[in-house]
Amino acid sequence: MAASMLGSAWLPRRLIVPGLCRRRLPQHMRVRSHRLPELAVSGRSVAAASGPGASSTDLYCLELLRKRDYEGYLCSLLLPAESRSAAFALRAFNVELAQVKDSVSEKTIGQMRMQFWKNTVEDIYCDSPPHQPVAIELWKAIKRHNLTKRWLMKIIDEREKNLDDKMYRNIQELETYAENTQSSLLYLTLEILGIKDLHADHAASHIGKAQGIVTCLRATPYHGSRRKVFLPMDICMLHGVSQEDFLRKSQDKNVRDVIYDIASQAHLHLKHARSFHKSVPVKAFPAFLPTVALEDYLKKIQRVDFDIFHPALQQKNPLLPLSLYIQSWRKRY
């Protein structure tokens, strides 16, 4: 393998991952596992997860998440009951923004939609939300948990900047995007949980960066199908890889080395986040459940020797709901 920028951050490229269910669960967890909030996905289960008093706007956010951010949906279901509706609203808000780039044909139209959400956040903080389901639920969340406006605006601003179809110039630029979107989302989730802690914020920063990097990797085949590549230019240039290599789904060694370096940076951020484990309040751990899916993807990409186009990477993990549930009991991230 070519010399890697970040090789020291990763384990050997070939890794044997022990099976998740090799040992039987303790009796108390086997019994309670039948009560997972959501395994069989249906409209009825969505309503049940929301509770008997769920409003139509709450159900709208839930359904949007279930369809567009399934992992975020599962993580939100495992938050404390008093925090769930706010988390659904927050993640639905993020989905609305994330969808803009792929749903518009012109940048100007995308900017108009982003301006709508900027105006919406301003109106929400003036207690005058527009009659839009996500906006109404976000207003309720802000009123109940006193969420910081700055983080919401950062998400919008960064998503708006990202409307340009340009490769990230370097890994730091990708990390900045991840910090302002995914990390901001985690800071707000911590506020929903009532957590104000510097160590938790540091962990959230690194987890958000890891999540942004992994999201970029996971989306590479989809972007390639649309003749677009967004992977950091500096790492591609280091290994002599062009955009065309990704567009033709090359499996050359230097292409895998690019993916290895980028994935290694995500792995490094998870490692840094876990270095705060003993200092982070236990109440904050539910906010960090997304690390389960991140770890799962990084292990899978390692198994296929960093072939970003391998079919195994496009398959959902059917055990993810159970993995998240078990992790929520372990009080770890």
In tens, the pLDDT along 207-233 reads: 999 999 999 999 999 999 999 999 999
Question: Residue 46 above 50 pLDDT?
Answer: no
> 0.95 exceeded by the pTM?
no
Mean pLDDT (the chain) is 87
**pLDDT at position 332:** 81
Q: Quick one: pLDDT band at residue 53, thresholds 50, 70, 90?
A: low
Q: Which is more confidently placed, 180 or 31?
A: 180
In angstroms, the CA 127 to CA 140 distance is 10
Q: Which is more confidently placed, 302 or 3?
A: 302
Question: Residue 119 above 90 pLDDT?
Answer: yes
Residues 323/296, Cβ–Cβ less than 8 Å: yes
9's tokens = 């951050």
Tell me what percent of the residues of the chain surpass a pLDDT of 90: 79
28's tokens = 């108390």
Tell me how far CA of residue 47 lies from CA of 41, 63, 81, 108, in angstroms. Answer: 11, 9, 14, 37
Segment 66-82 shows an average pLDDT of: 96
Q: Which is more confidently placed, 286 or 54?
A: 286
**What pLDDT, in 10s, does the model give residues 169-195?**
999 999 999 999 999 999 999 999 999
Q: Quick one: pLDDT band at residue 105, thresholds 50, 70, 90?
A: confident
Q: Quick one: pLDDT band at residue 72, thresholds 50, 70, 90?
A: very high
Segment 95-120 shows an average pLDDT of: 95
Residues 266/210, Cβ–Cβ less than 8 Å: yes
**pLDDT at position 32:** 38
Comparing 30-44, 168-182, 189-203, 280-294, which segment has the lowest mean pLDDT?
A: 30-44
In angstroms, the CA 30 to CA 213 distance is 35
In angstroms, the CA 258 to CA 235 distance is 6
Report the candidate in 231, 220, 218, 223 with the shortest Cα–Cα distance to residue 173. Answer: 231
**pLDDT at position 152:** 98
**pLDDT at position 13:** 53
Residues 236/252, Cβ–Cβ less than 8 Å: no
Give the 3-state secondary structure of 9-72.
HCCCCCCCCCCCCCCCCCHHHHHHHCCCCCCCCCHHHHHHHHCCCCCHHHHHHHHHHHHHCHHH
**pLDDT at position 9:** 53
Segment 268-288 shows an average pLDDT of: 97
**pLDDT at position 51:** 52
In angstroms, the CA 320 to CA 174 distance is 26
B/e letters for 194-210, b = 16+ CB within 10 Å, e = fewer, are ebebeebbbbbbbbbbb
**pLDDT at position 237:** 97
